[in-house]
Amino acid sequence: MLTIEPHTPDNVVVGHASGRLTHEDYEDFRGHIEQMIHQHGTVRVMLDLNDFHGWNLRSAWDDLQLGLRYPGKFDRCAILGDKSWEKLLVNLAKPFFAVKYFDRSQREAAWRWLMQPRSHGGEAGLFEAVGGVIRRNPTVSLLFVGGLAAWLLNRFVASRAGRGLRARSHF
């Protein structure tokens, strides 16, 4: 289940996710995100994961589509959780947009980070610069990553097949 807090400042959407998210949960969430983007140009999201068990396949697809539909429109996303796999997933998303994981006990720190002005260059390091390119060009980046993954998989399969042939040739 995903519930949205009704009264938040400016371009902020605060959600509470529990259980396993469904397509219907994402439809409502997407509506709030789109409304903020249309009203303010960008959106900031705080998502509190409490007894969260992930997504079904369709809602995971909805999540990906939402990010691809609005590249550069998510100023910051603060994710509150209490499980190591939640933190891992947030860290995997960092190249694509400004997202940070906080333990659920750090809600105030998450709120302060969420409300900070968006930084534009200057202090950003290489990872942030690459992340900026990925955020501005998500489709090209996904194609690149997909191509790289296919190439690595192909190399792995070829090396395994080569070892198998060598192993059989000894007999």
Is 171 a domain residue?
A: no
Is 152 a domain residue?
A: no
**Domain span at 9:** 2-136
Is 165 a domain residue?
A: no
Cα(18)–Cα(27) distance, rounded to whole angstroms?
16
Neighbours of 107 (CB within 10 A): 14
Is 162 a domain residue?
A: no
Is 91 a domain residue?
A: yes
pLDDT by 10s per residue, the chain, length 171: 988 988 888 899 999 999 998 888 888 889 899 999 999 999 999 999 999 998 888 888 888 888 778 888 889 999 999 999 889 888 888 877 789 999 999 999 999 999 998 765 443 444 455 556 665 666 656 666 666 666 766 676 666 666 555 555 444
Q: Is the dihedral of CA 146, 58, 6, 48 positive or negative?
A: negative
What is the CATH classification number for the domain harbouring 63?
3.30.750.24
| Non-local CB neighbours of 101 within 8 Å, separated by 6+ positions | 79, 81, 86, 87, 90, 91
CB burial of residue 80 (10 Å; 0-12, 13-18, 19+): buried
Distance of CA 143 to the CA centre of its chain: 17
